[in-house]
Each structure stands twice: as structure tokens, then as C-alpha cells.
Amino acid sequence: MTRAARRDDLIAAALELFSTRAPEDVSVEDVTARADVSRALFYRYFASVRELRVAALRSVVDGLLARLAARAEGTPYDRLRAAVRALAEVAAEHRAGYVALVRSGSAIATSETNAIVDEVREAAVGVILADAGITDPSPMLLTTLRCWTVVVEGALLTWLREDGLEQGKLDAWLVDQLLAMIGATERHDPDTVISSVFHPPRRRT
């Protein structure tokens, strides 16, 4: 097995363990037992279990960023819905890692993990601004978009934990939330005029 493959196995073992307990409760012994390797081998790849936790979260974020970068076809509204749908799919695929990534008050939260989370938020904001053709957003618009990314995180977290929301309706509902927030911003900020870009296409009668 290659060095990269062995490292990936350790990360996969950590993510599996995250599905049954909080990341801060997962020890080196837990990971080595799940991956069926020795402690000595573990320390060839990671200096500490905290470093492994960050690497595991990094792997989830890389998946989220890759899906955001893969732009869909269609109108800006269609592409925005597709981006939200892609985030939900990656979150579901890496359920435990995603929950660990965004849940508040985690003992593993550090400046490094916070920066990792911010990468996804800023990438999502960048997608919206690019589709709107805006290169210099007003402070109020930027605040609006960043707040919406937190709404998305909270909605996906609730969806993953409680299964009370239908995935098929999640993306349209979250995009409608964004349009409502942008509409409120436009009423208070004359420099923000982008809601028309993301209006859903009219249904044919």
C-alpha cells in the first residue's frame, strides 16, 4: 500500500468513528484499532490525533470545494440551486465529518479549523457574486451573503441530524431564503441590485 493510500485509510477510519462519537472523543487507539495498524505507524503520518482530526475535516472541505467549482449549466437560479444540491450531497456522503466540521462549540475548533470552514463560505459567496457579475460588492451585500452561508450550514446540519426535511425541497427552499435576504438588503442598500439575476424562470402555462 502506498503512503498516500495508508494516510487516506487513517482519515477514513477517523471519519467512520466520527459517526458514532464526537471527534474530540476519538483517540489514537480508536483510530489504530479501526484501521488495524500500530501506534508507531500512525505517528509516521500524523504528529497527533488533533492533526488527524484537521486532516479529516480538510478532506470533507475539499469535496465541498470541488463540487462548488464544478459549475452547472442553466440560468443563475438553476446554477445556484445546483450548487446547494451539491453541498447537500457531499454533506450526506460525509455526514459525520460534515457535522463535526460545522457544529458549534466543538472542542476541536481552532483557528485552523475555523479557517477551513471559512474557505467553503467564501467559495459559496464567490459563486453567487460571479453569477451576478459583481466584483466589488457593498459591505451590506457581502454581509448578507456570508450570513446566508451560515443559514445553509444550519439547515444542512438539521437535515442530517433529524431527517425532518425533504432533500428534494431543500435546495429550492434555501435559494428562496437567499432571495428574501437579498430583497431585504436591496431595500436598505441602494448599491445592491442583484435579485433579478436569480429570479426563478417563469413556468409556462
On whether both 42 and 120 belong to a single domain, the answer is: no
On whether both 193 and 93 belong to a single domain, the answer is: yes
Query: What integer pLDDT is reported at residue 104 of this predicted model?
Result: 42
CATH number at residue 86: 1.10.357.10
Among 76, 191, 177, CA closest to 139 = 191
On whether both 41 and 96 belong to a single domain, the answer is: no
On whether both 65 and 165 belong to a single domain, the answer is: yes
- Into how many domains does the chain fold? 2
Query: What integer pLDDT is reported at residue 201 of this predicted model?
Result: 62
Q: Give dist(CA 126, CA 50) in Å, integer.
A: 30
Inside any domain, residue 41 = yes
Query: What integer pLDDT is reported at residue 76 of this predicted model?
Result: 83
Q: What's the longest Cα–Cα distance across the chain?
A: 68
Inside any domain, residue 205 = no
On whether both 36 and 63 belong to a single domain, the answer is: no
On whether both 44 and 57 belong to a single domain, the answer is: no
On whether both 110 and 34 belong to a single domain, the answer is: no
Q: What is the rounded end-to-end Cα distance, in angstroms, of the chain? A: 59
On whether both 8 and 83 belong to a single domain, the answer is: no
Query: What integer pLDDT is reported at residue 9 of this predicted model?
Result: 92
Inside any domain, residue 181 = yes
Mean pLDDT, each 10-residue run in order, the chain (205 residues): 87 82 84 93 92 86 84 81 86 78 55 77 89 88 93 88 79 91 90 74 52
On whether both 160 and 187 belong to a single domain, the answer is: yes
On whether both 166 and 70 belong to a single domain, the answer is: yes
Query: What integer pLDDT is reported at residue 205 of this predicted model?
Result: 42
CATH number at residue 41: 1.10.10
- Residue-number span of the structural domain to which 34 is assigned: 3-49
**141 burial via Cβ count (<10 Å: 0-12, 13-18, 19+):** buried
Query: What integer pLDDT is reported at residue 204 of this predicted model?
Result: 46
Query: What integer pLDDT is reported at residue 36 of this predicted model?
Result: 92
